[in-house]
Structure 1
Amino acid sequence: MRTHRLPATLALTAALALTATACGGGSSTSGSSNTSPKTLTYWASNQGSSLENDKQVLEPELRKFEQQTGIKVNLEVIPWSDLLNRILAATASGQGPDVLNIGNTWSASLQATGALLPFDQAAFDKIGGKDRFLPATIASAGAAGKDPAAVPLYSMAYGLYYNKKLFQAAGIAQPPTTWDEFVADGKKLTTGSQYGVAIEGGNVSENVHNAFMLGQQHGTGFFDAAGKPQFDSPAAVAAVKQYVDFIAADKIAAPGNAEYAANQSVTDFATGKAAMLMWQSAGANLKSHGMNPDDYGVVPIPAPAGATGTQAVTSMVAGINLAVFKNTKNLDGALNFVKFMTSDEEQKQLNGTYGSLPPVKAAQSDPAFGTPELKTLAGVLQNSAAPLPQVAGESQFETLIGTAVKNLLAAAAAGQPVTDASVKAELTKAQQQMPAS
């Protein structure tokens, strides 16, 4: 998924409790209960540089759909900070859109509400078939052993972006491949008002994505095989402390990064205030800030020296899925819209504009996705990416762990010591707040 949302644990609990009511529909004057066979309501996530930019990208495509089908699509672009809470309110009330974007990491949690249409064989047949999609992206569309709760729309992976000019000025010939090299290079690149790396400590989702990736490298997925949380295990403590130490001990990220949210780290990288950036499919965003692709390189995020298996994971399987509310009054139109948005041509158009990767296999052959950046990220997605835990409590996990990391980074920025004990205490508190499954 892209990033950037606010805590929603209580809202999710309410949504789970009200699922039976939610799926029955209602008499609201807005949302899916009020759509006719010739209209659809679509909630899109903020993928571009602004909400207005997304409207400029999407509205011409929605007009194409209307011309082809006679169905008008009422579009609302929702910022990431609001999207999950809006979705949870809709699942609880039964009054939502017909079709909506969801972060792929939310798939299992939203699936558990029962409010989303399961994509069984019949539903997949109506949109062109399940085998059109990359297997890794389908694996991030719902819990294992169940019909997916959504279909992939945009795919992304994390990479390490580095400023070639700043690396050259610091006498660094190659980007780092291990964390020891990363920290050593970060210290060389930290001088004056320039820092080695920009992070986004006020961004709960960015925090949990990095904690998960480092957790994999340290040997934990934050849940055991039965789905029980293990937030404060020694491996989890080591992973989170490694990330917080970019500010606390290594001092290669600016203390002010602890408050950053909403693409501020991307801005710092694009303007030369930071020499490295760990981000998912940042090319289009960097271009909007005036950065030329020739000015930076992209490589996989570092891993421990000699790492194999899960310890070599360098990214979560990132992306956006497209879901249909089960109580839509226009199911045929909604599935027709999903078919349109995941068609080869629309996949090329939309992913090409947003700088993401098409999850539809046939669309990836387009030369637009052969840039050095996207080739690197496609390799990461195929070879060293893992899906976030596909458990019903995944959404709470994101909120709680992301907030714990945010609190620890704020403490580090304030000059407070960050120790194994303080990290464990914060993670234990997060685990205690997990609702019983």
Structure 2
Amino acid sequence: MRRVRVAAAGAVTLSFVLTAAACGGGSTGGSGSGEQARTLTYWASNQGANIEVDKKVLQPELDKFEKRTGIKVKLEVVPWPDLLNRILTATTSGQGPDVLNIGNTWSASLQSTGALLPWDAKNFEAIGGKDRFVDSALGSTGVRTEDPAAVPLYSMAYALYYNKKLFAEAGIRKPPATWDELVATGKKLTKDGRAGIGVEGSNLANNIHQVFVLGKQHGADFFTPDGKADFTSDGAVAAVKQYVDLMAAHKIVAPGNAEYAQNQSLSDFAKDRTAMVLWQTASATFKAQGMNEDEWGVAPAPVRSGRPGADEQTNSMVAGINMAVFKNTKNRDGALEFVKFMTSDEEQVVLNKAYGSIPPVRAAQRDPAFSGPTLTVLRDTLATSSAALPQVPEESQFETVVGTAVKKLFADAAAGQAVTTESVRAELEKAQQQMPKK
């Protein structure tokens, strides 16, 4: 979700139960005359290396919007560790922004509060139409039987990033395409204090993203078709064990990675301490760490057959950021105008180019800025071999409890304890017991 700020989006623990009777937001703005009627409050997620970077990216665009429309946008960039609880507080207090960014995996959970404006045909028409957006991005906007709770803003996908110099020194000519190849490659690269691949074992959201994809490859979805938690199926257990075994069994992940949660694996990669990493849209972070583009390569994340595709050949979750409007905003027309501006072809090129992400708007994807080899891999992954996380109201709880189970298993592995099928199943059973009963 992407730098760690995106990847950590779903890692915030829910501090209270989502309520269907939520009030919504819209603490500023108005439908009448005067200054208040021409002002919107916007909570943006922290996409850049820090909040100041986001302000430098966004403020000129907000000034452009104000010049065109006369509507002033008051910007607050909210750090990822705070964002979900800030939004949940706003849904119950009514003291929130007019427009906000949300991690796309939260869409169904926040949709269930009733606080967000549904994107029905009329609202989509107001921003240029639903068919402007890529289908995979629309798949992470809420429960499919309901009108979407948000619209896509930035799209991202997982890929395998590898250090070209370290590969060359080890005599490795191409990146691994299968999991067996990844393990074999990782073992060749794990030496002299360097690890073959890095993970973020304490990053709950990243844990979920990885095991969800592996679950798809093992035929598991973690939820039944009627929305019940199904964390202990053979496929789910196999997925979690396969991921943790990169450290526990194959020894190609350094034990210290069990404590990583804040981009440390990317820092290790940039400093040649790790040779590979599976991450979302990481190139901007590597550049910020001082790496040149020709120092790393990008390949599709591995699948068992080596040929990514649908279902058991899925190799990424549909990652990204959505844009939502609080239902009780006092300036709905202005809010829709702002969403239309931010999702316009022109702005999609500007914003996604700045953040190294993929536009979820079809026309913007055709811009030459997104035709380089790195973004082509990510764009193709989103189009052909990615899947949305379960669009169920309990998705946020799923990220928390299963992500924590994987964290515990990594800690066990780091401590030298055996990670077995039985111990994995036991941790997932504990996680399932924490989910709401249906």
TM-score, scaled relative to structure 1: 0.95
2:377 is matched with 376
1:278 is paired with a residue whose SS is strand
- Return the match for 1:9 from 14, 21, 33: 14
- How far apart, CA to CA, are the structure 2 residues paired with 1:411 and 1:9? 25
1:279 deviates by 0.6
- How far apart, CA to CA, are the structure 2 residues paired with 1:261 and 1:74? 31
1:309 deviates by 3.9
Letter in 2 for 1:163: N
1:240 is paired with a residue whose SS is helix
Cα shift readout 1:372-416 (whole Å, capped 9, x = no counterpart): 000011111111100000111111111111111111111111222
Structure 2 matches for 1:235-384, cutoff 5 A? Answer: 235-305=235-305, 309-384=310-385
Letter in 2 for 1:246: L
Letter in 2 for 1:142: G
- How far apart, CA to CA, are the structure 2 residues paired with 1:244 and 1:124? 42
Quick check: 1:43–1:101 contact (8 Å CA) kept in 2?
Answer: yes
1:117 matched to 2:122? The reply is no
2:401 is matched with 400
- 31 and 90 in structure 1: CA distance in 2 versus 1, 3 angstrom threshold: farther
- 242 and 31 in structure 1: CA distance in 2 versus 1, 3 angstrom threshold: farther
1:413 matched to 2:395? The reply is no
- 431 and 32 in structure 1: CA distance in 2 versus 1, 3 angstrom threshold: farther
- How far apart, CA to CA, are the structure 1 residues paired with 2:326 and 2:220? 34
Letter in 2 for 1:71: I
Using the aligned pairs only, state the percent identity: 62
1:264 deviates by 1.5
- How far apart, CA to CA, are the structure 1 residues paired with 2:267 and 2:53? 17
Quick check: 2:22–2:113 contact (8 Å CA) kept in 1?
Answer: no
2:168 is matched with 168
Quick check: 2:48–2:54 contact (8 Å CA) kept in 1?
Answer: yes
Cα shift readout 1:219-258 (whole Å, capped 9, x = no counterpart): 1010111111110111111100111111111111111111
Cα shift readout 1:136-191 (whole Å, capped 9, x = no counterpart): 11111111121110000000110000111101111111110111110010011011
Quick check: 1:3–1:80 contact (8 Å CA) kept in 2?
Answer: no
2:21 is paired with a residue whose SS is helix
- 21 and 163 in structure 1: CA distance in 2 versus 1, 3 angstrom threshold: closer
Letter in 1 for 2:436: P
- 249 and 31 in structure 1: CA distance in 2 versus 1, 3 angstrom threshold: farther
2:103 is matched with 103
- How far apart, CA to CA, are the structure 1 residues paired with 2:7 and 2:224? 25
1:209 is matched with 209
Q: Which is worse superposed, 74-83 or 177-186?
A: 74-83
- How far apart, CA to CA, are the structure 2 residues paired with 1:397 and 1:314? 20
1:389 matched to 2:419? The reply is no
For structure 1, list consecutive stretches of 5 or more residues without a partner in the other structure: none
- 297 and 68 in structure 1: CA distance in 2 versus 1, 3 angstrom threshold: same
- Aligned pairs, how many? 429
Letter in 2 for 1:116: L
- How far apart, CA to CA, are the structure 1 residues paired with 2:107 and 2:437? 19
Letter in 2 for 1:320: I
1:20 is matched with 21
RMSD: 1.6
Quick check: 2:40–2:71 contact (8 Å CA) kept in 1?
Answer: yes
Letter in 2 for 1:38: R
1:156 is matched with 156
Cα shift readout 1:303-356 (whole Å, capped 9, x = no counterpart): 112676411000001110000000111111111110010011110000001000
Quick check: 2:14–2:85 contact (8 Å CA) kept in 1?
Answer: no
2:221 is paired with a residue whose SS is coil
TM-score, scaled relative to structure 2: 0.95
1:436 deviates by 2.5
1:69 matched to 2:73? The reply is no
- How far apart, CA to CA, are the structure 1 residues paired with 2:127 and 2:342? 10
1:37 is paired with a residue whose SS is helix
- 85 and 33 in structure 1: CA distance in 2 versus 1, 3 angstrom threshold: farther
1:265 deviates by 1.3
1:184 is matched with 184
1:221 is paired with a residue whose SS is coil
2:334 is paired with a residue whose SS is helix
Q: Which is worse superposed, 272-281 or 409-418?
A: 409-418
Quick check: 1:32–1:96 contact (8 Å CA) kept in 2?
Answer: no
Letter in 2 for 1:154: Y
- How far apart, CA to CA, are the structure 1 residues paired with 2:306 and 2:153? 34
